[in-house]
Structure formats: structure tokens, C-alpha cells
């Protein structure tokens, strides 16, 4: 642990605020690993007064950063990507230690950070506006994209570093400054990332407050971000109730928001699909990150003709799931993030039973004799249900997978869409008519709809986010950058005369 902290420039006690200098004199918090309950380090939160100082500096830094040419801002992001490459092992390990995901997934998360930096470097030369023909003689219409301001980034524990990077890499090339409030469950990884950004900005001679950090409670520090008009855009990743709260506060002051909230990922397994592809995609989608991705597979909708064979094969995989210390390569599943998450999972399983579902496997807390004392380990749960059970429509942020059957593809699509969340979905089929229907306007209503690959593991090149209670926001690739900029439309007259639009005449 000491080596990991040292490699990332951290110590046993770390201050949780940064805006050019490290500050923090609020409550001290001991960060404990879900792997074995061991203390990792202390973090000192910021006070509201310190928050004000950080935001003021981050806001002031925008005044000069927005004037730096975008391709030059891209050079900073290139260096950030290089620095992340150098720290990939240590940062991936810290992610695993702090929130418990398998090391391979921690490394994958850092790879996502590197990928979005590469994407953003190219983007820094492609912040294109359009020109349009004017209806007036010798006039021209054009649009430009300008920097927006301070972007408040509020992130969740499950992707403690990648979500910051999706927002930050785009925000930086767009000329914005970033004020990050990470989950209180994962402050160490946030400090590590901010240190990396600090070094890069200092090396270039830019104000390091361009990437600022505030660690504190959501209800206190988070709400200061949500209500302050100096924060032009709030990008929030978290629960549906959390997003409802953030959305209201930000809208109240006519700020902008990107909301990335709950999911309830479903995979349709057609009788015309490849069973091996289905099994692997679904298994990883359900147990990866111990079922704590917003893209996790939570529902499987299987054609009734292949259901018994599919269920038995999946059950076999579940029974053999290697669970344990996520730093060891042989373990596919680590702990849940904390005991609260374990209790939530157990309560959901009781509800499944009470509502008439059948638990086929899992939901057993691993006993201390297994050598995993102190951690938050539990076996993943597989349950057979009717698609209409109320609990199936809720997002339980844990490895609980519901199996249900269908007869017609239309029925399967209706089941897939019949929940209030709309993030990620998939179909496993080799029938083109089925897959095209699934991708059509009559198909999946989610922001992500995949064919022959699972619900999780989206690449950074596409826009990431979803519909309905998922919040409608988009981050990451494609043209998601537009949310981080201010669009300006201009009419330019080079006729030497006055001509009004819409044919209006003005005789003086
Ligand atoms: C999340 O769970 O909040 O698509 C993000 C995926 C990852 C990101 C998940 N690239 O599973």
C-alpha cells in the first residue's frame, strides 16, 4: 500500500482540497479497503469556507485558460494521457484497493482515461462550427463554439477515476476549468488523479487550479456546487434520487447539467443467437465490478425454447465464480464496496422471494473461514422471475441477475423497455431482422443498444449516457463535447446596406 501511495505522490494523511495549493481542515476521514477492512490512509475534507476559496480560484483560472488556443490546450491533455500511461499500474491498483474491483478492471478503467485523452487531443483541432447560407444578399451566417466556464464534476464510487477523465479531458480542450467532487467512498483515487493533473499543468506553466478538487459530503459540498452560478455545468453521475435533486437545484439557477444516473441493463438472448457469446457477455456484464456498474447486466430475457439449456450453463458458471482478493488474477469477482452494499443486496434477494421469484443461486455472505475476514464478499445471485415483478424494475447496485423468458421478439423488446431506466441494452442474435428491429425506432429505448456484445464495457469513442430516469446526459465521445461549450450564432453583413430578415422593410 505504501508503495502505491508513494508512487502517486501521496502519504498516510492527505488533504482533500486543491486549487493551486493543497488545503483541507475539515473532518478527517479514514479510508478503509473493502478487500480486507484495512485502513488505507486518512483524508481531510474541505470546509465550506475552503470550498469557496477553491471555487473562486477555479473560476478565476477560467479567465486565462479560455484564451489559450484549443490545440495548445490539447497538448496539455496529451501530456495528461502520457502521465496516466506512466502511472497506470499504481493508479489501477489504488482503484482496486479503494473500491474493490478486480485489478484487471482497475487497469481497464485507467486505460479508458488514456483513451479519452487521446480522443480529446484530436478533438482539440476539431471543435467545428457550421456556416449556413443567409437569406439576405451579401450576408453570411456562422456558428462558433466558445469555452463555457467552470464544470462541476460529481462522480460515483464505481468508476472513481474514469468518469472524471471523460469530463475533464473534454472540458480542458473546450477551454473550461474543472471542479471535482468525488464520492466520499473513493477520495484517495481522486487525490491521486488531481496530483497528476497538477504536475502536468505546472510543467506547462498553466494555473494548476484549472483542475481543482473538493472532497466533502454531497449534502454540503455537493450542494454548494449545485447552487453556485459560477459553476456553468454540473456533470453528475449517481443514483436517480441524487440526480433528481441535482437537476432541480441546477435548473433553478438555469445552469446546465449532464445527468448519468441509474441503469437496468437487459440482454435479449434469441434462439437464433450464439449461446457461447450470450453466456460470456452476460456473465461478465453481471458479475464484473461485482455488479456495480451502471451498465451492469441485471436482466436476461431468453427465448423460451433455449431457456433450460441457457439457465443451466449460466448456473454452472455462477457456481464456479472465483471470488476473493481482487488483486489476484484468478479472482473474477472482488468484494462489494462496503457492508451497506451487501445489506442492500441481501434485502433485494428477500424481496425477490417475497414477490414470488425463485433464487437459483447466491446471496451467501462468505464466512470468515474463507480467509476473507473484514471484506465485503458475497456470492453473486441468479434468480428466475416473471419480468413484471416490481423488484426487477428497480436498480439494485449489486450482482443480482434476473432471468425471464419470452416468445416473440416484440414481447422481448417490450420487457426490455418496460422499466423506468434507459441506459444500456443488448441483443444476442444472428438474425438480421431481429437485430435491426432492436436498433430501430421500434426497438430498444436505451442510450446504448448493442448487438452480440454485452451491456457493459462501452468504448469512449461513442457518446455515453441514457434516457428516461437515466437522466438524458451524454459524456465521452462522438459530439458529447458540445455540452461543454457555448454556441454562438453570428449574422455578418458585408453588403454595405441594411436589409432586414423575413422580408421586413423599414422606410425612414
Ligand atoms: C458507470 O458504470 O458509471 O460501459 C460507467 C462501461 C464503462 C463505464 C461504466 N465503460 O461499463
pLDDT single digits (tens) 10-26: 999 999 999 999 999 99
Closest of 58, 70, 87, 403 to residue 211, by C-alpha: 58
The Cβ-side half-sphere exposure at 337, using a 13 Å CA radius, reads: 21
- Calculate how far, in angstroms, residue 157's C-alpha sits from the geometric centre of ligand 1: 12
The CATH architecture to which 265-451 belongs is 3-Layer(aba) Sandwich (3.40)
- Calculate how far, in angstroms, residue 113's C-alpha sits from the geometric centre of ligand 1: 12
364 Cβ contact list (under 8 Å, min separation 6):
378, 379
Q: Note the Cα 118 to chain centre separation in Å.
A: 18
For residue 387, pLDDT over 90 is answered with no
Alpha helices in 320-453 (DSSP H): 339-354, 409-417, 432-439
Separation in Å, CA 389 to CA 299, 343, 349, 354: 12, 21, 12, 10
The model's pLDDT over 262-274, given as tens digits with 9 standing for 90+, comes to 999 999 999 999 9
- Calculate how far, in angstroms, residue 422's C-alpha sits from the geometric centre of ligand 1: 14
Task: Please give the average per-residue pLDDT across 138-165, as a whole number.
Answer: 98
Calpha distance 290→377 (Å, rounded)? 9
pLDDT of residue 367: 66
Burial state string for 66-83 with b = 16 or more CB within 10 A and e = fewer than 16: bebebeebbbbbbbbbeb
Q: In what order do the strands lie in the sheet with 39-44?
A: 13-15, 39-44, 28-32
User: Which cell numbers hold the place of 469?
Assistant: 430516469
- Calculate how far, in angstroms, residue 137's C-alpha sits from the geometric centre of ligand 1: 50
Q: In what order do the strands lie in the sheet with 265-269?
A: 358-361, 381-384, 400-406, 297-303, 265-269, 424-428, 448-451
Calpha distance 384→454 (Å, rounded)? 20
The model's pLDDT over 212-262, given as tens digits with 9 standing for 90+, comes to 999 999 999 999 999 999 999 999 999 999 999 999 999 999 999 999 999
- Calculate how far, in angstroms, residue 480's C-alpha sits from the geometric centre of ligand 1: 16
pLDDT of residue 366: 86
Domain ranges of the chain: 2-261+471-488, 265-451
pLDDT band for position 346 (50/70/90)?
very high
pLDDT of residue 482: 98
Helices (H) and strands (E) in the chain, counts: 14, 24
- Ligand 1, from 282, 395, 464, 476: best to mutate by most atoms within 8 Å of Cβ? 464
| Residue position matching grid coordinates 460529481 | 154
H helix or E strand, kind and range, residue 338? none
- Ligand 1, from 162, 167, 239: best to mutate by most atoms within 8 Å of Cβ? 162
- Calculate how far, in angstroms, residue 458's C-alpha sits from the geometric centre of ligand 1: 6
User: Which cell numbers hold the place of 390?
Assistant: 416490481
Task: Please give the average per-residue pLDDT across 274-300, as a whole number.
Answer: 98
The model's pLDDT over 410-457, given as tens digits with 9 standing for 90+, comes to 999 999 999 999 999 999 999 999 999 999 999 999 999 999 999 999
pLDDT of residue 375: 73
pLDDT of residue 2: 83
Q: What is the mean pLDDT of the chain?
A: 96
- Ligand 1, from 295, 457, 473: best to mutate by most atoms within 8 Å of Cβ? 295
The Cβ-side half-sphere exposure at 414, using a 13 Å CA radius, reads: 8
H helix or E strand, kind and range, residue 166? helix 162-173
Atom of ligand 1 nearest to the CA of 263: 2
Q: Which residues have CB under 6 Å of ligand 1?
A: 112, 158-159, 237, 293-295, 456-458
pLDDT of residue 234: 98
Calpha distance 54→213 (Å, rounded)? 8
Percentage with pLDDT > 70 across the chain:
98
- Among protein residues, the one with the nearest Cα to ligand 1's atom 7 is 457
- Among protein residues, the one with the nearest Cα to ligand 1's atom 3 is 294
The model's pLDDT over 41-91, given as tens digits with 9 standing for 90+, comes to 999 999 999 999 999 999 999 999 999 999 999 999 999 999 999 999 999
Calpha distance 352→400 (Å, rounded)? 10
- Calculate how far, in angstroms, residue 162's C-alpha sits from the geometric centre of ligand 1: 9
| Superfamily the domain 2-261+471-488 falls into | Aldehyde Dehydrogenase; Chain A, domain 1 (3.40.605.10)
pLDDT of residue 371: 58
User: Which cell numbers hold the place of 231?
Assistant: 459553476
Closest of 488, 477, 486 to residue 167, by C-alpha: 477
For residue 173, pLDDT over 70 is answered with yes
- Ligand 1, from 242, 293, 298: best to mutate by most atoms within 8 Å of Cβ? 293
User: Which cell numbers hold the place of 47?
Assistant: 470546509
User: Which cell numbers hold the place of 472?
Assistant: 438524458
For residue 369, pLDDT over 60 is answered with no
Calpha distance 455→296 (Å, rounded)? 6
- Calculate how far, in angstroms, residue 294's C-alpha sits from the geometric centre of ligand 1: 6
- Is residue 484 within 8 A of residue 476, CB to CB? The reply is no
What residues are labeled active site? Answer: 260, 294
Separation in Å, CA 342 to CA 135, 292, 331, 365, 417: 63, 11, 19, 8, 28
Separation in Å, CA 498 to CA 25, 142, 489: 61, 19, 19
Calpha distance 298→285 (Å, rounded)? 8
Amino acid at each position: 500500500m505504501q508503495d502505491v501511495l508513494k508512487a502517486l505522490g501521496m502519504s498516510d494523511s492527505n488533504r482533500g482540497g486543491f486549487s493551486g495549493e493543497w488545503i483541507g481542515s475539515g473532518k478527517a476521514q479514514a479510508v478503509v479497503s473493502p478487500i480486507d477492512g484495512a485502513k488505507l490512509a486518512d483524508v481531510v475534507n474541505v470546509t465550506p469556507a475552503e470550498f469557496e476559496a477553491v471555487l473562486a480560484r477555479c473560476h478565476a483560472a477560467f479567465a486565462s485558460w479560455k484564451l489559450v488556443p484549443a490545440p495548445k490546450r490539447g497538448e496539455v491533455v496529451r501530456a495528461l494521457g502520457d502521465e496516466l500511461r506512466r502511472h497506470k499500474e499504481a493508479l489501477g491498483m489504488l482503484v482496486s484497493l479503494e473500491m474493490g474491483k478486480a485489478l484487471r478492471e482497475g487497469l481497464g478503467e485507467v486505460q479508458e482515461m488514456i483513451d479519452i485523452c487521446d480522443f480529446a487531443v484530436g478533438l482539440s483541432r476539431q471543435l467545428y462550427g457550421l456556416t449556413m447560407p443567409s437569406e439576405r444578399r451579401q450576408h453570411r451566417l456562422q456558428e462558433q463554439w466558445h469555452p463555457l466556464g467552470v464544470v462541476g464534476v460529481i462522480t460515483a464510487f464505481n468508476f472513481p477515476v474514469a468518469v472524471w477523465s471523460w469530463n475533464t479531458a473534454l472540458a480542458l480542450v473546450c477551454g473550461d476549468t474543472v471542479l471535482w467532487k468525488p464520492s466520499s467512498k473513493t477520495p484517495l483515487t481522486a487525490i491521486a488523479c488531481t496530483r497528476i493533473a497538477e504536475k502536468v499543468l505546472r510543467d506547462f506553466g498553466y494555473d494548476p487550479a484549472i483542475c481543482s478538487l473538493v472532497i466533502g459530503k454531497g449534502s454540503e459540498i455537493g450542494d454548494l456546487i449545485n447552487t453556485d452560478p459560477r459553476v456553468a455545468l454540473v456533470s453528475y453521475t449517481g443514483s436517480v434520487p441524487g440526480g433528481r435533486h441535482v437537476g432541480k437545484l441546477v435548473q433553478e439557477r438555469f445552469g446546465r447539467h449532464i445527468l448519468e444516473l441509474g441503469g437496468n441493463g437487459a440482454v435479449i438472448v434469441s434462439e437464433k443467437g450464439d449461446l457461447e457469446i450470450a453466456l460470456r457477455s452476460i456473465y461478465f456484464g453481471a458479475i464484473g465490478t461485482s455488479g456495480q456498474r451502471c451498465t451492469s447486466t441485471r436482466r436476461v430475457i431468453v427465448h423460451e425454447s433455449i431457456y433450460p439449456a441457457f439457465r443451466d450453463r449460466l448456473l454452472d458458471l455462477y457456481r464456479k465464480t472465483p471470488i476473493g482478493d481482487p488483486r489476484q488474477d484468478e479472482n473474477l469477482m472482488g468484494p462489494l464496496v462496503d457492508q451497506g452494499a451487501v445489506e442492500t443486496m441481501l434485502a433485494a434477494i428477500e424481496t425477490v422471494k417475497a414477490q414470488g421469484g425463485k433464487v437459483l443461486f447466491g446471496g451467501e455472505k462468505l464466512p470468515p473461514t474463507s480467509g476473507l475476514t473484514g471484506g465485503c464478499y458475497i456470492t453473486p445471485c441468479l434468480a428466475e422471475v416473471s419480468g413484471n415483478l416490481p423488484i426487477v424494475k428497480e436498480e439494485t447496485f449489486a450482482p443480482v441477475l434476473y432471468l425471464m423468458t419470452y416468445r416473440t421478439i416484440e414481447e422481448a423488446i417490450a420487457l426490455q423497455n418496460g422499466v423506468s431506466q434507459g441506459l444500456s441494452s443488448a441483443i444476442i442474435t444472428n438474425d438480421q431482422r431481429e437485430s435491426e428491429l432492436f436498433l430501430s425506432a421500434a426497438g430498444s429505448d436505451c442510450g446504448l443498444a448493442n448487438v452480440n456484445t454485452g451491456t457493459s464495457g462501452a468504448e469512449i469513442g461513442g457518446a455515453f449516457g441514457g434516457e428516461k430516469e437515466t437522466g438524458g446526459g451524454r459524456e465521452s465521445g462522438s459530439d458529447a463535447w458540445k455540452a461543454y461549450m457555448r454556441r454562438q450564432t453570428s449574422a455578418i453583413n458585408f453588403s454595405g446596406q441594411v436589409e432586414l430578415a423575413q422580408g421586413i422593410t423599414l422606410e425612414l
